[in-house]
Amino acid sequence: MALKIKQDQARFRDIVRGRIKHNLKKYIQKGEMIGKKGKDFITIPVPTIEIPHFRFGQKQQGGVGQGDGDPGDPLSPGEGEGGGQAGQAEGQHTLEVDVSLEELADILGEELELPRIQPRGKDRIVSTRIRYTGISPSGPESLRHFKRTYKQALRRQIASGSYNYLRPVIVPVREDRRYRTWRQVPLPETNAVVIYMMDVSGSMGDEQKEIVRIESFWIDTWLRKHYKGLETRFIIHDAVAREVDRDTFFHTRESGGTMISSAYKLCRDMIAADYSTSSWNIYPFHFSDGDNWSADDTRVCVELLRGHILPAVNLFCYGQVESPYGSGQFIKDLKESVGPSENVALSEIADKDGIYGSIKAFLGKGK
């Protein structure tokens, strides 16, 4: 049976794709569906259109929640945003389920129509990796799934009446045992390194960093799906550059000026020292608000890119995060100088909604 609603769905998709009803275009929002990965919240890009209503500005409103914590404690990211909205849902009820990172990457790839990455080098060795994908009643003891076995035993004991809640001893018998089963997945034996560079000068605010954080999470997820070993390195810079760990990367705030060339120099040295071009796929990502110290420094940057970085890497990506202080000049300079190169992706990210578009610009090249 063809469902009646398919027509409505087709119309909705046409609106989102911009084929009809352009007046609604500005109400299209992205990144709505929230899933949970362990303790992290992740959103899956599902476009929605919100018809404007008279409603309250959210940040003044707040709401009521439930749980531990003292006044002043922050809520987990992703919480609170739906605050205060007494929905008009008609007594329907949904259940949240966990998703694995791998599935997430698939979802991302499907939503953004990302091509599979073609690793460099013809002599790609393909190895196989084991993935545990299911549960079976037989298998080696070493793969026994404790929780499922326990649950099965508990179920049997309650059903047969031998469960005593005063003395809750659960004894699994042979039939209760459950084992993990696996599948072999082919995996190209190639390594990749992502070098993240970020401008931490005063003009990059918390919101800008949050954008970088979200974007780097997705980039990691996607690349990890395609490479066996994925290394990540982090470089922060203001007027000078240094290598840091992940945590420092996202939480440092300096106040100095900005010399982008310092980061590019360090990146070049890093590649030269640790990553030989023949055995590594190299992905430098640079994020800044587009403010550079001087035109001279920009010239140095372009030379570094042309002479050293671009020939060595799979893809060089530059993401310019919009900030109220930045002039946004740098991306224009790059566009003019190295823009046409095949392994350069440039993208401007206006706000959080711009993240998916930017990921698509970066990873859509299939490099």
Partner 1 sequence: MTEKNTSLPAHLYDIRKKVEGYAREYGLDFYETIFEVLGFDEINMVAAYGGFPNRYPHWRFGMDYERLSKGYEYGLSKIYEMVINNDPSYAYLLRSNMDVDQKLVMAHVFGHVDFFKNNFMFRHTNRKMMDQMANHATRVRRYQDRLGVEPVEDFIDRCLSVENLIDYQSPYVKRRADPAPDEEEKRQVAHGFKNEREYMSEFINPPEFIQEQQRKLDEEQARAKRFPERPERDVLLFLLEHAPLERWESDVLSIIREEAYYFAPQGQTKIMNEGWATYWHSKIMTERALEASEVIDYADHHSGTLATSEGQLNPYKLGVELWRDIEDRWNKGRFGKEFEDCDAFEARRLWDRKAMLGRQKIFEVRQHYNDVTFIDEFLTPEFCIDQKLFTFGYNEKHQRWEIVEREFKKVKEKLLHMLTNFGQPIIAVEDGNFENRGELLLAHKHDGIDLKVDYAKDTLRNVQTLWRRPVNLVTKVEARGIIYRYDGREHSDKKIDL
Q: What is d(CA 57, CA 28) in angstroms, rounded to the nearest whole number?
A: 18
Q: Of 120 and 151, which CB lies nearer to partner 1 in the complex structure?
A: 151
Q: What is d(CA 92, CA 103) in angstroms, rounded to the nearest whole number?
A: 26
Site for partner 1 in 67-106 (CB under 8 A): 67-76, 78-88, 90-97, 99, 103
Distances (CA, A) of 20 to 12, 23, 52, 246, 307: 9, 9, 18, 44, 47
> How near is the Cβ of 15 to partner 1 at its closest, in Å?
6
* 173 is an interface residue for partner 1 by CB under 8 A: no
Q: Is 73 helix (H, G, I), strand (E, B) or coil?
A: coil
How many residues bind partner 1 (CB under 8 A)? The answer is 79
Residue 335 Cα to chain centre, angstroms: 25
Binding span for partner 1 by CB under 8 A among 41-49, 132-140, 228-236, 346-354 = 41-49
Distances (CA, A) of 76 to 45, 79, 227, 302: 20, 6, 31, 41
Q: Of 83 and 257, which CB lies nearer to partner 1 in the complex structure?
A: 83
> How near is the Cβ of 168 to partner 1 at its closest, in Å?
13
* 64 is an interface residue for partner 1 by CB under 8 A: yes
Q: What is d(CA 306, CA 223) in angstroms, rounded to the nearest whole number?
A: 24
* 39 is an interface residue for partner 1 by CB under 8 A: no
Q: Of 161 and 186, which CB lies nearer to partner 1 in the complex structure?
A: 161
Q: Of 218 and 318, which CB lies nearer to partner 1 in the complex structure?
A: 218
Q: Of 99 and 310, which CB lies nearer to partner 1 in the complex structure?
A: 99
* 113 is an interface residue for partner 1 by CB under 8 A: no
* 134 is an interface residue for partner 1 by CB under 8 A: no
Binding span for partner 1 by CB under 8 A among 42-50, 212-220, 236-244, 257-265 = 42-50
Q: What is d(CA 169, CA 24) in angstroms, rounded to the nearest whole number?
A: 61
* 187 is an interface residue for partner 1 by CB under 8 A: no
> How near is the Cβ of 132 to partner 1 at its closest, in Å?
17
Q: What is d(CA 288, CA 216) in angstroms, rounded to the nearest whole number?
A: 13
235 neighbors 274 (Cβ within 8 angstroms) = no
* 135 is an interface residue for partner 1 by CB under 8 A: no
> How near is the Cβ of 52 to partner 1 at its closest, in Å?
4
* 164 is an interface residue for partner 1 by CB under 8 A: no
Out of 40, 102, 175, 207, point to the residue binding partner 1 (CB under 8 A). Answer: 207
56: left (phi over 0), alpha (psi -120 to 50) or beta: beta
Q: DSSP for 10-32, please give it.
A: HHHHHHHTTSS-GGGGGGEE---
